[in-house]
Structure 1
Amino acid sequence: MAKYTVQQKLDAIMLYKQGISSTRIANQTKINKHFILRWVEIFDTAGISGLTSYGNSLQHFDASFKLEVINWLVRTHSSYPQTARHFNLASPSVIWHWKQRYDIFGVAGLSDQRKRKEHQITEEQLTPEQEIKQLRERLEYAEAEVTYLKKLDDVMKQKRMKTRRKQ
């Protein structure tokens, strides 16, 4: 759930549009003034729909789009917030991260770096040989565990016997 409702955002935007400073609105509504200014920017470029979709889902951008954004940023000498507005991106900081990775690693740094779980083999997908090997390993582990627990039990019995003799 969003921290602020669309109505709260619209109320703050309308107060700002009426000439009230973002600091004063922030004090009245207990909303960070930077949020208010960002909402005004989003509202001016995308309208109400920008306020409802902003930040609600993670977006995936391919390396060619990231490169296009960086090239535009450099070519036009724009700021990160201006570039974010131009490409309708939720946060200027994402562009900064892309630029840093591009400066260090080149185009290869713009590819998706998120780790994804590799498809794990389930028991249904095991070949009979793999299943036998897996079962033998589980049996060995269980046998070792039983042996360990028996020895532990013997040690505990001996300790109890010693404490009884002392009494």
Structure 2
Amino acid sequence: MFSVEIKKKVLKEYLQGKPSGLLMKEYGIRGTATIYQWLNHFKMFGIQGLENNLGKTFYDYSYKMKVIRWRLEHKASFPVTARYFQIKNPVVIWDWEKKLLQGRLNSSKGRLSKMTKSKNPKTLKQLQEENEFLRVRVAYLEKLDALIQKKQQSQTKRKPK
């Protein structure tokens, strides 16, 4: 891991026109993608984007649903959505959607070890979150189905050689 100071130095020299290959040799950076990633994080988040965040950031279930819903409604890519919501890594959003389709995007933090009967019925907020989860999941599956049908139609319309 590189310190924030080294990242600043590298970006400053890069923006002044020094080739990325020289910077890689000088600072022991393994790939140019690292420099471009630092630059992208700096553009998106400023100096804070260069900080090494070792701790895991917790995103609330409703926030995850909001991000997924926005991405689907705007037909945006993962990087565009990440930039809009200021999430450093677009793969995080992809993972949320994958878990949503698998039914593993839960509103609770931990996993339940056993299925137990609850003495307390679900609260209105829990029911609303579950309803929203199901709406987004259905919309996602409908979009996926439409893309599959479109692909199949385009393959059958081709003229034989």
TM-score using structure 1 length: 0.56
Gaps of 5+ in 1: 118-167
Of the candidates 49, 54, 61, which is equivalent to residue 63 of structure 1? Answer: 61
Q: What is the deviation of 1:21?
A: 4.5
Partner of 2:2: helix, strand, or coil? coil
**Shift in CA distance, 90/8, structure 1 to aligned 2, threshold 3 Å:** same
**Counterpart-to-counterpart distance in 2, 1:77 and 1:15:** 37
Of 95, 103, 109, the match for 2:105: 109
Counterpart residue number, 2:79: 81
Max Rg structure: 1
Partner of 1:48: 47
Change over 3 Å in CA distance of 1:69–1:50 after alignment to 2 = same
Going by fraction, where is helix more abundant, 1 or 2?
A: 1
Structure 2 SS opposite 1:96? helix
Deviating runs (4+, > 6 A) in structure 1? none
Query: Shift of residue 25 of structure 1?
Result: 2.9
For 1:79 and 1:22, locate their aligned partners in 2 and report how far apart those are by CA, in whole Å. Answer: 27
Amino acid at match of 1:111: S
How many pairs are equivalent?
112
Structure 1 pair 50–116 and aligned structure 2 pair: CA distance change class (3 A): farther
Q: Is the 8 A contact 1:98 1:110 kept in 2?
A: no
**Would the alpha carbon gap of residues 78 and 27 (structure 1) be closer, same or farther in structure 2, given more than 3 Å must change?**
farther
* % identity of equivalent residues: 29
TM-score (norm 2): 0.58
Task: Quote the residue 1:72 is aligned against.
Answer: 70
1:37-87 superposed Cα distances (whole Å, 9 cap, x missing partner): 1211121122112222x5232111111111111122222232222222221
Segments of structure 2 that go 5 or more residues without pairing to the other structure are: 114-161
Find the counterpart in structure 2 of residue 5 from structure 1.
3
- How far apart, CA to CA, are the structure 2 residues paired with 1:47 and 1:24? 24
